[in-house]
Structures are given as C-alpha cells and as structure tokens.
Amino acid sequence: MTPVQVGIVGGTGYTGVELLRLLLAHPAAELLTITSRKEAGLAVADLYSSLRGHTALRFSDPGQAPLQDCDVVFFATPHGVAMQQARALLDAGVRIIDLAADFRLRDTEVFERWYGMPHACPDLLAEAVYGLPELHRESIRDARIVANPGCYPTTVQVGLAPLLRHGLADTTHLIASCASGVSGAGRKAEMGYLYAEASDNFKAYGVRGHRHGPEIEQELRRLAGGDPRLACVFTPHLAPMIRGMHSTLFALLNDAGRAADLQALYEGFYAAEAFVDVLPAGSAPETRSVRGANLLRVAVHRPQPDTAMVLVVQDNLTKGAAGQAVQNMNLMFGLPETTGLQGIALLP
C-alpha cells in the first residue's frame, strides 16, 4: 500500500514533536515535509535529539515547503494559521487536520470573541468535522477538514457522553474541574511556566472564563440533543507535572439516572473503543498510567444517590492532541484506527 504522504506546519512545539514521534514510527505514513519559519534549514534531529537516527528531514520555510504534494497536512500552529492556508490546500486536494481552534467553534462571533481575530474562511466551517473519533467516527472518514479537539474538551466529552446521550443528567448543572501538566501551555518562555514557578505548586487559572469553555458547551449540547439550557462550569488548573491531564466531572442525575447502573452504562458505551478504558468500580485513574499513550482511562462513581462523578485521565499531548490527530488521519485514509498508536504508557 502506498504510504500516506504527510506534511506538518509548525513542528517546533510540544505538539509538533509528539506528532513527529508518532508519525516517524507509523507503518503507513511518510513524512514529506515539516515547516518552521524560524528554524528553516535546521535538521529536525538537531532541535529534538530524541529523533536522532529516525529522520534526516530539515525544517522548511512555509513558503517553499511542498505542502500541496501531501495527502494530508497537520497544523500544529498557533490559532489563526490554518484558516489562512486551508482554501489553497483543499483546492489542491490536500486534506487538513488542524490541532488549533480555527475550525472547532461553529459560531464565528464566539470564535472572534475568544480568539481575538476575525475568521478567515467562515464558509469552510460548515464542512469541518469535529475530530473526536469516539463520537464522530463516521463523519471523520470522509472529511476534508478535521478540527482536532482541545485537550480539556476531549476529557469532558468522553466523561459525560454516556450520561448525556442517554438523557440521564440535569444538563443545567454540569461541573468540570480539570488539571493539566505544564506542556499544555506550549513550548514558550513565560514567567508562570518556569520550573521555579510551576513546580511544587497547584493553581486554578482562567477562572473568569477560558476559551475551551465555549467548545465544551458547544459539543456537550450536541451530545444532549441540542439542549439550549445546557451549562457547564469549567475550571482549569495547572498541575506541577510536564504532561498529563486529570478531569473530575460532576452531574446531577434525573429520575432515570438515579435508577441506572452507571458502571454498566459506561462499560457498554465504550466496550468497542480501543482508546477508552473504563476502569472497574471504585477505581481512581492516575495520569502516569496514560503517559505517552493514546488512551483515556475513565472511572465512574456515585458519591450521592443523585450525583454522578466521573474521573478521566489522558496525556494532554497524545490523546489530548497529536495522538488523536493521528487517530483521525487513520480514519480519513481507511487505515485501522489503531495503526501506529498502540504504544504502552511509560511508567514510572
């Protein structure tokens, strides 16, 4: 079989190197080009020594990279880049997986309010598919544009989907308390992410509103059949670890929910999912159990008769970003969904 020809735009950040790690070992993908305006001409392995011996590629200037020769292009870039280049690539027959937020939000006014820029191609939003495979697998297969979900929204949706799809929760009182490792902020030098600032510390941020909040509510509303009353209080936290994400979710159960066997519900809902592991009753998942793996571990509890508590962990760079993007690529090109993604988590 001819390998999928892959390009990466913006490969110098943490998401970019995670994409490289997965794609260079992927048996059905061939990395054709990777771009960086700042690092153009530099050998990829000189920037990331972990890749020494695995690739001879050099970073290319975005204006000179053969992106139109690719089958698919991943955008591991800041918000606003993919939407500027999307139309030309689509016209050339190239499919797009955007790991930023350019195609996640359906309402352009909401996008502009949270990301501070006008949307460059609002007409393409109508065909973009939200790339959470466990919930939108069939739409992803034929998509030309896939909006890779945010890391926090992935855990919240997977955690609450069984309750919302089956109409078992009060949609007006959903709570998501989530924590991420420092790599979720990207590869940048800012005071709050220095080792001496982030280590030995735990704090909430974005408490007055976070840009993943509208994405979470948009997609939870879809799961709840378009319920306009749906509201989710989302509070992110910065945890003193490099990679990993832990989300604690709460939902008030309605009459049907109080009568339901939640453990059986979750086990049945995700029984066929290779990348969602529903733990035995009474379990509490740990972030280190998914480090480096394209995997979500989920545990469901009922601390009160009318309350569901769902614990979800993932690696924010893998299932929360690059691994999920490769999972989407597999679907788009008719490959087994697990191809190149069956690595075991790293422990310790």
Catalytic positions, written as ranges = 151
Under 8 Å between Cβ of 291 and 347:
yes
Structure tokens at 62: 């975005």
How many C-beta atoms surround the C-beta of residue 175 within 10 A? 16
- Stretch (H or E) spanning 173: strand 169-180
Residue with tokens 């992110």: 236
Structure tokens at 341: 């993604």
Under 8 Å between Cβ of 328 and 133:
yes
Pairing mode of beta strands 232-238, 203-204: antiparallel
Quick check: helix, strand or coil at residue 151? Answer: helix
Under 8 Å between Cβ of 13 and 5:
no
348 vs 94, 287, 289, CA distance in Å? 40, 11, 9
